[in-house]
Copies of this chain bind each other. A is one copy, B any other.
Amino acid sequence: MNEQDFLAAYDPRDYPAVAVTVDVVALTIRDGALHLLLIRRAAPPYAGHWALPGGFVRPDEDLAAGARRELAEETGLGGERLRRVHLEQLATYGGLDRDPRMRVVSVAHLAFAPDLPDPVAATDADDAIWLPVTALSSRQLAFDHGRIIDDGLERARSKLEYTPLATRFLEPEFTITELRAVYETVWGHPLHAGNFHRKVLSVPGFVESTGASTERGGARGGPRAKLYRAGDARLLHPALLRPAREETVR
């Protein structure tokens, strides 16, 4: 049998049906707290439970396109604002009993977005919200989405260390203090303002000055801050390491 005959005789239905979905762990920062995009499922399985936005991959889109489509559907975002959202593949979850319907393999993605409008529930959901991640523990999540979220949060914390992706939580122009607030929010503890400031400016390509400053000082006083935009570095050298956590090492 040559290659052409083989392809002609080939029937995909001979293989066991596996469904492939994409799920999105979308993070943003609102009111100084890290928030996560969740939908409430309208249909079984897990109807009424909170879940990550996601769904079956369509025949005409690759995995990243599917994830971006799901994100667009739930956030109502499009165009330039959607394109500015950072999206990366997180990991793939393929346990045997993830979904009671059939074997479902889910390719999870991770998204970083600046503060966005309240989401609108798409057809497969009856509600959609930005939920503070601190409120997660009390929620019953569908499927293994709790595990996926944990992995996404850890990836996010780690990515801030060695990439400039913290800037993706901010508007194109930002102050060093706003950037520090992103780190403090994602890592969950305060950083030394002076040392952070010097460190950020010393890493080549992390930020570049716009020459401008904010219109006003801080709400409770203080000078106007200089404005920066993201630089051209894709990795931070040297990295901004999280304060060492002995526990997590072993």
Check if A16 is an interface residue, CB within 8 A of chain B: yes
Name A's B-contacting residues (CB within 8 A).
1-3, 6-7, 10, 12-13, 15-20, 43-45, 47, 56-63, 89, 91-92, 94-96, 100-103, 105, 107, 204-205, 232-235, 237, 244, 248-250
Write the chain B residue with the least CB distance to A63: B94
Pick 26 A–B contacts, CB within 8 A, sort by A. Answer: A3-B44, A3-B47, A6-B43, A6-B45, A12-B102, A17-B17, A18-B57, A20-B20, A20-B94, A20-B105, A57-B94, A59-B103, A61-B96, A62-B95, A63-B105, A89-B92, A92-B107, A94-B107, A105-B105, A204-B249, A205-B250, A232-B250, A234-B249, A235-B249, A237-B244, A237-B249
Chain B residue contacts of A94, Cβ below 8 A: 20, 57, 62-63, 107
In the assembly, what is the distance between CA of A58 and CA of B18, in Å?
10
Chain B residue contacts of A100, Cβ below 8 A: 7
A233 touches which of B16, B59, B250 (Cβ 8 Å): B250
Q: Are B205 and A44 in contact (CB under 8 A)?
A: no
In the assembly, what is the distance between CA of A95 and CA of B63, in Å?
7
In the assembly, what is the distance between CA of A102 and CA of B244, in Å?
47
Q: Are B16 and A18 in contact (CB under 8 A)?
A: no
Chain B residue contacts of A62, Cβ below 8 A: 94-96
A105 touches which of B12, B107, B244, B250 (Cβ 8 Å): B107
Chain B residue contacts of A58, Cβ below 8 A: 16
A63 touches which of B60, B92, B250 (Cβ 8 Å): B92
In the assembly, what is the distance between CA of A170 and CA of B91, in Å?
28
Check A10/B101 contact, CB under 8 A, given A3-B47, A107-B94. Answer: yes
In the assembly, what is the distance between CA of A96 and CA of B223, in Å?
53
